[in-house]
Amino acid sequence: PEASTYVAPYKSRLFLLLSDGYTLQYSKVTGIGDPVRFNAAFKIPMDDFGGRATCAAAMDDHLIIFKERSIFAMTGEGPNDLGAQDDYRTPYLVTSDAGCIDPNSLVNNPNGIMFKSSKGIYMLKRNFTLQYIGDSVEAYNDERINTATLHPTLIQIRLTTSNGTGLVYDYYCNRWSTYT
């Protein structure tokens, strides 16, 4: 594969956001125990609308591609190992209202995908609507997110920030709390 800035699994493949910020490269189908293999022709160009791609994640049947100021999505099974029967299409625009500026903030959860934009923290819901959820933690918008984790047993998403503050989002009650 070429040099990349982000890697995301999607339907038995790995998708790479190449260093140019405007190209996706994807692997051949990979099974359990198989090595990841690439074909130099397996690339999808993206236009420059919304800036450079910053991160990506699978949500249900879609690959969601986050750019700096927009969000795109795509579906499909992709080509076979010889490049035939390719049903991938150019990613389509989901929203131009916000994008992800901090790949460390990206976290899948039962409601969708949470991420930090230049405007604060948002949730891309499973129905592809965008919900601003960061109103209670706007004081931390200038902080870099170090980690974002879906708690395995509680109904919480936990973010750690560059200043050491932890932000906890209860996605059932839609409430925030902090800890140090």
| Structure confidence by residue, pLDDT tens digits, 157-178 | 999 999 999 999 999 999 999 9
* 160: enclosing H helix or E strand: strand 156-161
Smallest CA-to-CA distance from 62 within 122, 127, 1, 111 is with 127
In whole angstroms, give the CA distance from residue 147 to residue 161. Answer: 7
Indicate whether 90 pLDDT > 90.
Answer: no
- Tens digit of pLDDT for each residue in 24-65? 999 999 888 889 999 999 999 999 999 999 999 999 999 999
SS3 string, 125-159, reads ECCCCEEECCHHHHHHCCCCEEEEEECCCCCEEEE
What is the 8-class DSSP label of residue 179? E
Q: Kindly give, in sequence order, each residue whose CB lies less than 8 Å from that of residue 40, ignoring residues fewer than 6 positions away.
A: none
Residue linked to tokens 């920030």: 161
Helix (H, G, I), strand (E, B) or coil at 13: strand
How much of the chain exceeds pLDDT 90, in percent?
90
Above 90 in pLDDT, residue 80?
A: no
- Average the pLDDT over 120-131 and give the result: 97
Summary mean pLDDT of the chain? 95
Report whether 49 contacts 93 (CB < 8 A): yes
- In three-state secondary structure terms, 104 is helix
